[in-house]
Amino acid sequence: MKTIGIIAEYNPFHNGHLYQLQKLRAQAGDSFIIAAMSGDFVQRGKPAIYDKYTRARMALSAGVDLVLELPVCFATSSAEDFASCGVALFDRLGVVDMLGFGSESGDCGELSRAADLLKEEPEDFSRRLQECLREGMPFPKARAAALKPYFPQQGLSLSAPNNILAIEYLKALKRRGSAITPVAVRRTGQGYHETGPAGVGVAASASAIRKAIRENNFSMAKSQVPTAVSRILADSVPIFSDDFTALLNARLLELSKNGKEDVFACYADMSPELASRLGRQVLNWSTFSGRVMQLKTRSYTYTRISRALLHLMLGITSGQALHYKDQDYVRYARVLGFRRQSAVLLKQLKRRSHLPLVTKTADAHKILDADGLAMLQMDFHASHLYQSVVFAKSGQGLPNEYTSSVVVI
């Protein structure tokens, strides 16, 4: 029986994700599916719309067998580190045979060629990349422009979000010399960034579903998710970036109280230029999203700035990220939930995993080293901030990270 790994956010789980599960199982036959899922914050520097246990329950109810948590340090990082962390986790579990992912292309051959170029970085590619960066292009656009001459006659969109991640997954597998087989599933339905109404029979994007939830259009949102997920969605509290405005502003005031502008520069994704500009704007009161717009320039994408502010709020420094990157990204595999009928998969993991398996947080100190405990505490802190915002918004108290239980359905 094969085991398929999927690196995901499920923000929230929708019909497009269900389609991906069905296609992968159709290709692999009888198989387990493990999802390595972002926790309470996601790769674009925003809070997940629902907490991680709710989203794990959604995934399990739709057919995922086991949900593991991606450490927040890399779940909120660049596409390269996000992908590398997920691939490292699966590679070290010792049970994953295939890595499934969606892409606008769906062509593993094309994507693999692009991954080879990025892995090898030929001289002319590097030169073009630097030229584009000097012109003020944000890094993702500059890299896509530098790659384009290598694919002159092909329809591979090098700036499409899922293609970008797919290329990074392949690059990470190649760098590790991993035996895991990549399997691309062509994305269907709306584009990643599309938020307008989906046509009849067209799967809406996660962005469109989040927009519908923000606008209280729950009938649209429920129509775009599996039935079991819609029931979970109805009972859950949605969270958005601006719900963190007070926490971000308090953190900025605390860090800047000594009047030093460079105090922000140590945080992940925060360049010296961004840190300096932020230091001058601390008292220009705005929402979380408003502060992103205050800092936005041609050279910095909205996502890069949002990640920088999020890392500052969560206290994740560049030094910490580099330290864990040097240690192969992951120090443990934390279980968020599993299906009872798939309990045999957990037994396999306990026998074969090269990473400690965290199922009870109370026992973490017995199985993790100092670095692993520090990384886990980073996850705890992020989730406790998220839980405090859920409580402030709704009065609903979520179980804390020391008392919460693994989701079992």
| DSSP string over 330-368 | -S-EEEEEE-GGGHHHHHHHHHH-SS-EES-GGGHHHH-
pLDDT of residue 150: 87
Provide the angle, in degrees to the nearest 10, between the axes of the packed helices 302-314 and 272-281.
70
pLDDT of residue 144: 87
Q: Any idea where the domains of the chain sit in the sequence?
A: 2-104+164-239+328-408, 111-159, 241-318
For the cut 50, the answer to whether the pLDDT of residue 199 exceeds it is no
The burial of 199, by beta-carbon neighbours within 10 Å (0-12 exposed, 13-18 middle, 19 or more buried), is given as: exposed
Give the chain's mean pLDDT.
Answer: 94
pLDDT of residue 60: 99
Averaged pLDDT, 309-319? 99
Q: What is the DSSP letter of 243?
A: G
Question: Which amino acid type is present at position 29?
Answer: G
Token pair 């000594």 in the structure block, residue:
258
pLDDT of residue 73: 98
Averaged pLDDT, 80-86? 98
Determine the 3-state secondary structure of 23 from DSSP. helix
Pairing assessment for the beta strands 181-186 and 98-103 based on DSSP bridges: parallel
In tens, the pLDDT along 147-195 reads 888 887 665 677 788 999 999 999 999 999 999 999 999 987 554 444 4
pLDDT of residue 155: 55
Q: Cis check for the bond before 12: say yes or no (omega within 30 of 0).
A: yes
In tens, the pLDDT along 215-271 reads 999 999 999 999 999 999 999 999 999 999 999 999 999 999 987 767 999 999 999
CA distance 292 to 286: 9
Return the higher-pLDDT residue of 139 and 333.
333
Contact yes or no for 334/93 (Cβ under 8 A): no
Helix H or strand E encompassing 100: strand 98-103
Question: How many residues in total does the chain contain?
Answer: 409
Cβ atoms within 10 Å, residue 9: 22
In tens, the pLDDT along 356-373 reads 999 999 999 999 999 999
Cβ atoms within 10 Å, residue 386: 24
For the cut 80, the answer to whether the pLDDT of residue 309 exceeds it is yes
Tokens of 266: 């140590």
Percent pLDDT > 90 in the chain is: 85
E-assigned strand segments in 130-266: 181-186
For the cut 90, the answer to whether the pLDDT of residue 291 exceeds it is yes
CA distance 38 to 56: 10
Averaged pLDDT, 314-323? 98
Alpha carbon of 332 to those of 149, 367, 368, 408: distances in Å?
41, 9, 8, 20
pLDDT of residue 153: 63
Return the higher-pLDDT residue of 275 and 203.
275
In tens, the pLDDT along 89-144 reads 999 999 999 999 999 888 898 899 999 999 999 999 999 999 999 998 888 889 88
Question: Which amino acid type is present at position 325?
Answer: K
Residue 200: which pLDDT band, with cuts at 50, 70 and 90? very low
CATH number of 2-104+164-239+328-408: 3.40.50.620
pLDDT of residue 353: 98
Residues contacting 13, CB < 8 A, separation 6+: 55, 58, 59, 62, 225, 226, 229
